Chains A and B, each alone.
Chain A
Amino acid sequence: MSNNVNEPIVSVRQLAKSFGPNRVLNGIDIDVQPSQVIVVIGPSGSGKSTFLRCLNGLETAEEGTVRICGHALVDNGRMIDENGLNRIRKDVGMVFQSFNLFPHLTVLQNVTLAPRSLARVSAAEADAQARALLAKVGLGHKADVYPGTLSGGQKQRVAIARALAMRPQVMLFDEPTSALDPELVGEVLQVMQALASEGMTMLIVTHEMNFARDVADTVVVMDHGSVIEAGPPAQIFGAPREARTRSFLQAVLSREQAV
């Protein structure tokens, strides 16, 4: 593993992918430095989620190169083999829009399942780590209940703890608050903000513009499978260069004000 300061922890070159005749990703280039927080925004159907899912192999990239955490996930359009993929995924945590907690396991078991099955840590060690993580996301008291009894915000915080339990170097968030009732969004964003301030490298697809403004180091704007603009939040929100960025932000922000 070689992530010194000069080498990006995620490096994407000319990433492209089609679903049938639809070209959903059209030559993406992005570099992410360790501890950077990248927020990806853009209209729905712009390929944001697909891009994120290409970074841990949930989608198969067809062209380009993706290097992540020192591994070549995609090398000139060729995916790494299954073993390599499983190794990379231990270093890359993912949080989904629909939480995807395991309903047949308790909250604690949700968090300990992967470390116990994959990292070969002892049960006691995994439990202690999981309880610490649950306390960190404010759910230490929910360790022994099943996910079915939790609110959406609580579920998403458990999902974050579950991903953190593998001690990832990069965290991917795919619209983590889009399925939540408005009053539950804040508690999840708070956890993410704390994580960012601890120096976690994060790539976040979201529609929460205030969060992007406050937490992002770089905001990436995507449309029709391409990055149309990227820069610090002050620039993107204050003085966007692209007309498409302006009209997207206008549409989103006017709706936010209306609410």
Chain B
Amino acid sequence: MTLDFSPVWAGWEALATGAATTIEVTACSLVLGCVLGLLVGIGRLAPQRRVVFGICTAYLTFIRGTPLLVQLFILFFGLPQFGIMLPAFACGVLGLGVYSGAYVSEIVRGSIQSVDRGQMEAARSLGMPYRMAMRKVILPQAFVRMIPPLGNEFIALIKNSALVSLLTINDLMHEGEKIISVSYRSLEVYIVIAFIYLILTSATSLVLRKTEKSLRADGRV
């Protein structure tokens, strides 16, 4: 058996649009995931505020404990039963973002708690209110420590985004499937798709490594 990549090259335009959609879906859910993760992570810092802590913990438990695919299907096939019809793209972004937010929240919480307690005490002893101390002293330090685990999470998100092809979103995976359905060249198509995902994930990790390096320069943090 020989490999024949010609159907893949012939469909390069579709793959490029698909890759662009993948980037778009991932970027949107990344923003959603980071915002959610930051809020939930901070919400889980103070167990004495029971309602906030409870809501955040319930979210984390449910989202982290159930398959992403099931969550996506609930959004896409389940919600319409209640008359809630979200466009496929919105379902994908919402599903991925909410899923990723759960993991990001643990990264946020862990990084904040890893900042020495004395930092908060020093800031508070100067008269700063809790939120100001958090914003100006703790989070800037925690942020640098978040980068490596966030990098892992972003990469996982890029790869997980392939699941949204099942919601009829024309992402990289979906465009690949379309080429397969007319050419039957599955191995060739999947090899090329895998390679494109690899480029996306490698670029992400490169950018994050550079960011971390520049933030750690001059003996800071």
Residues 114-143 of chain B: 1 if any A CB is under 8 Å from the residue's CB, otherwise 0? Answer: 001011011111111110100011001100
In the assembled complex, A56 has its CB within 8 A of some CB on chain B: yes
Contact segment of B39-47, B88-96, B148-156, B213-221: B213-221
Bound complex: CA of A146 vs CA of B144, how far in Å? Answer: 16
- The residue that A89 contacts in the complex, of B116, B125, B132, with Cβ under 8 A, is B125
Contact B122 A90 (CB under 8 A): no
In the assembled complex, A241 has its CB within 8 A of some CB on chain B: no
> Which of B116, B125, B218, B220 has the most C-beta atoms of chain A within 10 angstroms of its own C-beta?
B125
Contact B125 A94 (CB under 8 A): yes
- The residue that B221 contacts in the complex, of A93, A98, A104, A118, with Cβ under 8 A, is A104
Known: A96-B118, A100-B119, A103-B141. Contact between A113 and B127, CB under 8 A? Answer: no
In the assembled complex, A114 has its CB within 8 A of some CB on chain B: yes
Contact B124 A89 (CB under 8 A): yes
Bound complex: CA of A92 vs CA of B127, how far in Å? Answer: 9
In the assembled complex, A102 has its CB within 8 A of some CB on chain B: yes
Bound complex: CA of A107 vs CA of B101, how far in Å? Answer: 35
Contact A162 B126 (CB under 8 A): yes
Bound complex: CA of A103 vs CA of B122, how far in Å? Answer: 12
User: What is the chain B residue whose CB lies nearest that of A94?
Assistant: B125
Contact B122 A96 (CB under 8 A): yes
Bound complex: CA of A148 vs CA of B121, how far in Å? Answer: 19
User: For residue A56, which residues in chain B have a CB less than 8 angstroms away from its CB?
Assistant: 125
Which residues of A101-128 are within 8 A (CB) of B? 101-104, 113-114, 117-118
Known: A98-B118, A146-B218. Contact between A90 and B137, CB under 8 A? Answer: no
User: For residue B118, which residues in chain A have a CB less than 8 angstroms away from its CB?
Assistant: 96, 98, 100
Contact B128 A104 (CB under 8 A): no
User: What is the chain B residue whose CB lies nearest that of A87?
Assistant: B127
In the assembled complex, A40 has its CB within 8 A of some CB on chain B: no
Known: A87-B127, A162-B126. Contact between A100 and B220, CB under 8 A? Answer: no
Contact A100 B122 (CB under 8 A): yes
Report how many A-B pairs have Cβ atoms within 8 Å: 74
Which residues of B202-221 are within 8 A (CB) of A? 218-221
Bound complex: CA of A169 vs CA of B32, how far in Å? Answer: 46
Which residues of B38-78 are within 8 A (CB) of A? none
User: For residue B132, which residues in chain A have a CB less than 8 angstroms away from its CB?
Assistant: 117-118
In the assembled complex, A257 has its CB within 8 A of some CB on chain B: no
B115 to chain A minimum Cβ distance, whole angstroms, is 10
In the assembled complex, A149 has its CB within 8 A of some CB on chain B: yes
Contact A146 B219 (CB under 8 A): yes
Contact B129 A82 (CB under 8 A): yes
Contact A96 B121 (CB under 8 A): yes
Bound complex: CA of A82 vs CA of B131, how far in Å? Answer: 12
Which residues of B127-184 are within 8 A (CB) of A? 127-130, 132, 136-137, 140-141, 144
User: For residue B218, which residues in chain A have a CB less than 8 angstroms away from its CB?
Assistant: 145-146, 148-149
Residues 81-97 of chain A: 1 if any B CB is under 8 Å from the residue's CB, otherwise 0? Answer: 01000110110111010
Which residues of A144-159 are within 8 A (CB) of B? 145-146, 148-149, 159
In the assembled complex, A163 has its CB within 8 A of some CB on chain B: yes
> Which of B118, B218, B220 has the most C-beta atoms of chain A within 10 angstroms of its own C-beta?
B220
Bound complex: CA of A105 vs CA of B218, how far in Å? Answer: 11
Bound complex: CA of A103 vs CA of B137, how far in Å? Answer: 9
User: For residue B129, which residues in chain A have a CB less than 8 angstroms away from its CB?
Assistant: 82, 86
> Which of B124, B127, B141 has the most C-beta atoms of chain A within 10 angstroms of its own C-beta?
B127
Bound complex: CA of A118 vs CA of B123, how far in Å? Answer: 11
Bound complex: CA of A90 vs CA of B132, how far in Å? Answer: 14
Known: A100-B118, A100-B122, A104-B141. Contact between A146 and B220, CB under 8 A? Answer: yes
- The residue that B126 contacts in the complex, of A87, A103, A118, with Cβ under 8 A, is A118
Known: A94-B125, A162-B126. Contact between A100 and B136, CB under 8 A? Answer: no
Bound complex: CA of A162 vs CA of B126, how far in Å? Answer: 9
Contact A89 B126 (CB under 8 A): yes
- The residue that A118 contacts in the complex, of B122, B125, B128, B140, with Cβ under 8 A, is B128
Known: A104-B140, A114-B123, A159-B122. 8 other contacts (CB 8 A): A87-B127, A89-B126, A102-B119, A146-B218, A148-B218, A149-B218, A149-B219, A166-B127
Chain A to chain B contacts (Cβ below 8 Å), 10 pairs: A58-B121, A94-B122, A96-B121, A102-B123, A117-B132, A117-B136, A118-B132, A146-B219, A146-B220, A148-B220
* 5 cross-chain pairs, A with B, having the tightest CB-CB distances, nearest first: A148-B219, A100-B122, A90-B127, A100-B118, A114-B126
